[in-house]
Each structure stands twice: as structure tokens, then as C-alpha cells.
Structure 1
Amino acid sequence: MGQILFENCRLFDGLGSELLEDRHVLVEGERIKEVADRPISADGAEVVDLAGRTLMPGLIDAHFHAFAADPDFAKMEAMPRSLLAQHARKLLEAALLRGFTTVRDAGGADYGLALAIKAGLIKGPRLFYSGRALTQTGGHADFRALEDHSAFCFCGQGSRIFGVIADGVPAVRQAAREELRRGATQIKIMASGGVASPSDPIWNLQYSEEEIRAIVWEAASWRTYVMAHAYTPEAISRCVQFGVRSIEHANLIDEPTAALCAAEGAYVVPTLVTYDALHRFGPELGLPAVSQEKLKDVREAGLTSLEILKAAGVKMGFGTDLLGDMQVHQAQEFEIRAEVLSPAEVLRSATSANAALMNAEGELGVVAPGGQADLIVVDGDPLADLSLLQHQGARIPVILKAGAFAKRELV
């Protein structure tokens, strides 16, 4: 196995709150072999002198949409899958070049996309995918127009990309089992109303206790978990009480609900940048009028939700949920969060915290012996200046995924 030796670096290991000075890191094959505060002897290794630059774990986005070619989901559902796959390739490859070596897809991506990445056909991040999100009739992944009175079920429509309609315990069991059969690394459900869907107000509660518990059981039987789209305190608390591990968005969370999340060990994955981007660019990029109106209900509550989550000690992941061309703003999530959280808290959410959420603790999100060699080099100190992670990776001259260079532009 080939070896790469990074010398003379400052290290953010994904776990601490400070940079570690004068570190040396040896990569062997796809894994990190050694991390030391002294020079490492490795005959035959390729030596990369970082000259004081920062070495850190590759970034992880826990709420990504690879197939999100357009802000209008109904329009995307009508696109050929082959066309969406080309959009996905473009979006995934751009994310990797921003330093995101892993993404968790929150609805749409499938085993074919994962296989294309593993085969090198797509030069993209590691992909944890949910398959199609489970939704009730009229739920957040039911993108039929209000004028559409058809009675068909998405589960009988092979062309549906982002969601599968399943109503009742037998149907949700079957839908969950189908996504798990196709290799889903976790199951996504819609548990409240949302911005992108046409018929459900934000406060709408979705899925019964029996349905959610059945889905959670099916995921647990495959040794995985459920992630749930949920905005309001009631929607969030129901999910957590019924066994959901990962709450997505949570803009309208309150103190008692945050305390419940902390007590139950649930993760919350805020996605604040998408509301900012939708507000600024959504109308010109095709966000439907009904979605623009609903956006007002959740956008302004974003920073308050971070304050509530931090005060309660809730485990926070890092996600973006950006759609289409708005994914260029992926790294802006760092600076938005920095209005409430410390830089170290923000970076841990995008590294070790996300890895733990995704059942990859010690494998991803850390610079430690035995971990996957997913690493990035930052030209500067990201703990002092999170904006270094913006600008489409311009200040990230080196990106390593599974021990192989995805980018190498050291001057």
C-alpha cells in the first residue's frame, strides 16, 4: 500500500477546540496510520510539507440532495432519471471540491449513484443515502399539485424520485423495507409540513404514532435509524418519543422540546443556509409562490433555534439542504452558525458529530489512527476565520478522500 506523509502541519483533529501545532500525519492506503507530535520515519512515503497549513478531517454534510436539480420538486419529479443523474454528478463533484468528502442524502439518491461514486464514474463524496423519503398522502414529499385529483400511489410509480407515499402501518413497513432492500443507509420520513410541498402547512403533523414506530422498528432491524423532517415542537417531540434518531431542520423548536432531544440522545441537524438562499434567490430560480409564502414561517426562527439547542446541550449535526444552483452556497452554513456557536463547535458539527450521527464514529470526521484518510488542507486557521472554507474551496489546496488526492494545488 502506498503511503503519504503530511509534515509540518497544524492539526484540527475533529474533536478538540484548538489547533495542535507541529503535527505529522502518515496515511497508508485508505487509512490514517499514525499521528505524531514529532517527525515520522516512513521510507518510501510521498512527503507533503504543509509548511504550517491546517490539516483537518474532510467535511460532512448530513442533509444533502444530490438529485435536487431545481427548487421546484414537482418539476424535478417529471425529469428523466438519466437527466437528474447528470445534475447529481455535477452537484456531487462540486461538493467534493469544496472539501465535503462525505454527504448524507436526505431523499432521492440511490444505490446506482453510490455505485457510480465507488467506481470512480463520479468524482464525488462518500454517499450515505436514504433512497426515497416516506410520506403520507398530502405530506411533505407529496409534490402533486393541488389541482391533481389522481388517486394513484407513488409506490406504484417507478419514476418517482424523491418520495414514496405510504399510508397505514402495513404500507409504511413495506415502503421502509423496500428502501432498505435497495441499500438505504438510513430511512427518511416526513413528520411535519414543509416549504417545498404544495398542500401541507408548516404546522401540519404527519404520520401517526403507530406508523412512525413501525418505521423505526424496520430501520432498527437493519441496525440503522430514522431521520425525520420536522419543524414544530409537537412534530419534533413526537418523533423523538417514538424513537427517531435524527431531526432535520427544527427551526421552530422550543426549550422543553430541546431538553427532550438532549435527554433522549437525539441529534438535530439545522439547515439554516437553505432558508437564506431560498429567500434571496428562490423566486428567480423557480421556487413556487406557495413555497415562498411558507418560507416566511421558518426563516426568521433559524438563529433562535441554534441558541435553544446549544443551551439544552443537544447534539447538533451539520446540514445544508440546498437545492440546484443554490448549492454553491454550501459553505455559508459555517458563517451563519458562527453567529451563535463557536468556530470549534461549528467545525465539530461538520466532522466528528456528523460521523457519530451516521454511525461512523472513529471512521470519519477525525484525524486519528485507524480512521479513514478523508482529509483536507486549509490555507490558514479555520478556527480563527471560518470564511476560509468558502469561495468554492479556493483556500483548500488539498483534498484527500480514502487516501487518494481529489485535489492537489499546493503552491
Structure 2
Amino acid sequence: MSTTLETPPLVIRNASVLDVEAGTYSTADVVSVAGKISSVGPDAEAPNGARIIDGTGKFVIPGLIDAHVHVVASSADFRSLTYTPASYVYAQTARIMGEMLRRGFTTVRDLSGADFGLAMAQEEGLLEGPKIHFCGHALSQTGGHGDMRLPGEDHDPNGRGCCGIGRVADGVDAVRAAARDEIRKGAHHIKIMASGGVSSPTDRIDSTQYSMEEMRAAVEEAQAANRYVAAHAYTARAINRALEAGVRSIEHGNLLDDESLRLFLEKDAFLVPTLVTYWALKEEGKEFGLTEEMWAKVDSVLTSGLEAISRAHQAGVKMAFGSDLLGGMHRHQNEQFRLLGKVQPAIDAIRSATTTAALLLEREGELGVIAPGADADMLVLGADPVADISVLADIPEHLEYLIQNGREIA
């Protein structure tokens, strides 16, 4: 936030401070000045006018990063966003962002929907919530996961309403133009729809989308602007095509195979699994109208997703925390930690939401760590999440202080 210069200094005294990379704690004082961490160590001198927090017996970890959110998704029906008034979308988004922040997420990567205006409002302190890395509109082929037209509709897919999540671009030249336009509008990354999805009305989940030439065009444009491409992909075939095209992060990736694991390592790419959205559908889907057949399918996808994370973890693939929750299910965001804890050590789950996510966002050393020069985003917890990952899954019971840019959030 630009308001950080007005933020009084902050000192957390005598706390157990987590070195995420090492996976160890040290007893230290953490000093924040002008929204940045200035020192971490014993017996720090408090700057004049500093707010002092007694950290004795407390655990301090970096603010969390969710690398796959949709802050505008007040409904699970993405199609409805195309005709919802912008003012109403903004009001709902403000609520969603404020709740995300209070779950400990001080930064998020938005994978379609958020824009320059939301990011600027948050940065200027007009809107309380996580810092936003956004892609603007995701790029989709006609009839792809970002095309919300029903089979009987023939209107311009990019010409309705304010707030849809996708834009349709067909052919190499159109993909280049769309990628350049999102970059012009401030996008931190480009998102492409490389496979079918659940919320789009005319595509199969197991379809592949975009030609190799179209995907490579998006990657070339992103790289030219020192950005990167994230790809929505479920099946191994879709995942592997996207990785071959140079995509930096695969979103979801539930049905990866051995070739996928090889390509992730060869291409130095990231996997962003989003299991909690399937967990939430399994827990509550019938209340939202899922049939018994659909519910069983969700259960199968959840099981395969857990297996994918386990295999990726064992192979050494870099994984970043993602939730991808929509509508009334946003409240389950932290449950992703409990799911991750089933297939990997707690410290690795924490890394996925701190250091690894920061690396994906190209903010290494600035986010996800408690170290001099980093943003002063910190959680002060009453219990140790390294010993028990449920501390983060059940965060309302354990979060004692929430600090973003050196400012305590009430």
C-alpha cells in the first residue's frame, strides 16, 4: 500500500520466528519500518514510536499467498458475472477480499476476473484485502473454458457486460493481440485455457484447447514483456501440451502422468493444485444441486488430485498453494492446508503458500519470508503450524495478530 510510509514502526518481541526454507524457528525480535522488515534478531532496538507486540510463546510466520483465486467470484456461476452490474460485483469483491485477508492471506494471485482497478484500490488503501497479482481476462478459444455462451447463443463473446472472466481469441494473431492487450492493462501474468472445465457450458473437461502455435504465441508475448503464462489444464494430455509450449504454471493438474512429472522438472514449471474446491463440492455439492452421479465424479477427481500431489511432491515438482473457491465456498480456503498435509509434510505445505508461491509470482525475497527487505506481512500464531498443519486449516482459533505491510489488521 502507498500508505505504508504513514505506518508506525512495529516490533514483535521474543517470538519463535519461522525460517521457511530451513524449516526451523529461532527466538528473535522482528522490526518493521515503513512497511518493510528492517531486522530480525535478538534484542532489537525499538524505533521511536514503535508499536510493541509481546511474542513470547508465539509463532511468527510470513503472510500467506494463495496462488489461485477469483476475487470477483461471488457466485459459482461465472456466466452470471457477464451480466451482473459492475457496482454489485465490486461490493461483493470487497467483502470476499476482506475475508481472505483475515484468513491470513496477505497476497493472492488472481486467475481471471480481477483487474488494474482492484489492484490499485488495494495498493492505495481504498480496499482492504490481499495484494493482488492479476491476469485480467483469461484467454480462451471459441467454445473453450472462457466462452460462457450457451449452444443457442450467437452474440459476440467479448461484447456483453463488464465482469466476465474470459475473452475469446482464435488464431495466433488474435492470441498475440489479446495477450498484448492484457499486458497493456497491467497484467502480471497471462492465463490461457488449455483444457475444458466444469463451469463452461459447451466444452468437455477432457478436451484440449488452443493449438500449440496459439499457446506458444501467448508464451512469446508474455516473455517479451517479462511476464509468464499460467494454463488451466486437467488431463495429462492438456498438461503436457501446455508445458511443451512453455507455460510456467499448470492450474489444477489433477490427472497428470509420468510424462507430466518429467516435463515439470525439465521446464522448471510449477503445479498449482486446487483440491479444496473439489473437497467443498464433495462436502456441500448436493446442497448446491449436484446429482449423485456428479457427486461421485467430484469424489473421483478429489482422490486423483491427492494422488497427483503426492506423486509431484515425491518427484520434486515445485507446487504453489491454490484454492480456486467460488461463491459461498470461499470460506473453506484454509482447508487446503489440511488436504496438503495428508500427502506432504506440514513445512512443505507452508512453503507452498510462502516461499514457493513467491517464487512463482517472481517476488522471491520480497514475499513469503521474514527477512530484512521483505514486505512486513506476518501472522502471529498461538500454536506451531510446522508441528500441526491444522493450525493453519483452523486459523480463526490460532491467529492472534495479522500484519500486512507492517500494519496490524484489526
TM-score for both structures, normalised by structure 1: 0.94
Deviations 1:179-217 (A, max 9, x none): 111111111110011111122112100000110011111
1:307 paired residue among 306, 310, 317? 310
For 2:75, the aligned partner's letter is D
For 1:306, the aligned partner's letter is I
For 1:189, the aligned partner's letter is I
Cα deviation for residue 270 of structure 1 reads 0.3
Within 5 Å, give how 1:85-234 maps onto structure 2. 85-146=90-151, 148-150=152-154, 152-157=155-160, 159-234=162-237
From the superposition, tell whether residues 239 and 157 of structure 1 become closer, same or farther in structure 2 (CA, over 3 Å).
same
Q: Which runs of 5+ in 2 are unaligned?
A: none
From the superposition, tell whether residues 338 and 395 of structure 1 become closer, same or farther in structure 2 (CA, over 3 Å).
same
Within 5 Å, give how 1:260-339 maps onto structure 2. 260-285=263-288, 295=298, 298-339=301-342
Partner of 1:241: 244
Is 1:78 matched with 2:67? no
Deviations 1:113-171 (A, max 9, x none): 1122123222101000110110111111112223x231x33334453520001111111
| Cα distance in 2 between the residues matched to 1:13 and 1:281 | 37
Partner of 1:23: 28
Within 5 Å, give how 1:52-63 maps onto structure 2. 52-63=57-68
For 1:194, the aligned partner's letter is G
For 2:235, the aligned partner's letter is T
Superposition CA RMSD, Å: 1.8
Kept in 1, the 8 Å contact 2:253–2:271? The answer is: yes
1:8 paired residue among 14, 17, 21? 14
Cα deviation for residue 298 of structure 1 reads 2.4
From the superposition, tell whether residues 297 and 145 of structure 1 become closer, same or farther in structure 2 (CA, over 3 Å).
farther
Cα deviation for residue 289 of structure 1 reads 10
From the superposition, tell whether residues 78 and 294 of structure 1 become closer, same or farther in structure 2 (CA, over 3 Å).
farther
From the superposition, tell whether residues 145 and 294 of structure 1 become closer, same or farther in structure 2 (CA, over 3 Å).
farther
SS of residue matched to 1:155: coil
Greater shift, 346-355 or 251-260, is seen at 251-260
Partner of 1:48: 53
From the superposition, tell whether residues 240 and 62 of structure 1 become closer, same or farther in structure 2 (CA, over 3 Å).
same
Cα deviation for residue 296 of structure 1 reads 5.5
Partner of 2:381: 378
Cα deviation for residue 84 of structure 1 reads 1.1
SS of residue matched to 1:121: coil
Kept in 2, the 8 Å contact 1:198–1:291? The answer is: no
For 1:145, the aligned partner's letter is L
* Aligned-pair identity (%): 43
TM-score for both structures, normalised by structure 2: 0.94
Kept in 2, the 8 Å contact 1:373–1:400? The answer is: yes
Kept in 1, the 8 Å contact 2:139–2:193? The answer is: yes
Is 1:344 matched with 2:320? no
For 1:41, the aligned partner's letter is E
Greater shift, 39-48 or 216-225, is seen at 39-48
Kept in 2, the 8 Å contact 1:154–1:160? The answer is: no
For 1:11, the aligned partner's letter is V
| Cα distance in 1 between the residues matched to 2:294 and 2:193 | 16
| Cα distance in 1 between the residues matched to 2:98 and 2:171 | 39
| Cα distance in 1 between the residues matched to 2:171 and 2:110 | 25
From the superposition, tell whether residues 79 and 156 of structure 1 become closer, same or farther in structure 2 (CA, over 3 Å).
closer
